[in-house]
Amino acid sequence: MKKGLSTLIGALLLIMIIVGLGGFVAYWIYGYSDKSFGSIDNLQSSILLGDEGKITILSSEYSFDSEILSLTLRNSGGKSIPLDNSSNFPTTTWILQHTQGRQVCNTNWDGTDNSVTCFRGCGANVELDIGKIQNIDLNLSGSPCDLSTLDNFTIYEFHIDFSGKAKAAGLFEKQGYIQ
């Protein structure tokens, strides 16, 4: 009987040591990630997008007459980012919405199936290299993102997913004619 009791106590001690070590490791990892990435959200973004995928929108300008949205992008990350306008997966997609949060559209840039057409600065094999700047033009006319019937003098917000390699967001104003 004494022999069985000491085995049970040994097993309990072993379990307590393992749980204690697991707690210590979890505490250390949490502390390390908080210092290295700033927060758990930043850690998740870093894991999902990679530390190096970063596009900065330098400018965005919408032409009321032609319904062309011109964007100037800079790759401020550490790897090339695809500026894909093909319908092959993964594609560059974007969401256009009013600044109040009401979504206008959600399409890719291939110009087919009633989507936005990226006709300058992007393509099936076009990449934005590290540190480079690229101008792209998006034709919103005739797409779900057509702004011709929407209010003038309105600010719109856009979010772009570059084939899962990087994300960017920006604003532009739809002007109009003053009568």
Tens of pLDDT, residue by residue over 119-159, are: 999 888 899 999 999 999 999 988 888 888 888 888 899 99
Closest alpha carbon to 131 in 84, 175, 79, 82: 79
pLDDT at 98: 85
Q: Which residue has the tokens 């995928």?
A: 53
Answer whether residue 38 shows pLDDT above 50: no
**Could you give the CA distance from residue 17 to residue 36 in angstroms, rounded to a whole number?**
28
Is the torsion defined by CA of 82, 84, 89, 90 positive or negative? Answer: positive
Tokens of 104: 């206008």
Q: Which helix (DSSP H) or strand (DSSP E) does residue 120 occupy?
A: strand 117-120
Closest alpha carbon to 159 in 78, 104, 82, 112: 104
Of residues 91 and 116, which shows the higher confidence score?
116
pTM greater than the 0.85 cutoff: no
**Could you give the CA distance from residue 66 to residue 141 in angstroms, rounded to a whole number?**
8
Is it true that the peptide bond before 144 is cis, omega within 30 degrees of 0?
no
Tokens of 142: 């005739």
pLDDT at 32: 57
Tens of pLDDT, residue by residue over 53-90, are: 889 999 999 998 899 999 999 998 888 998 888 777 77
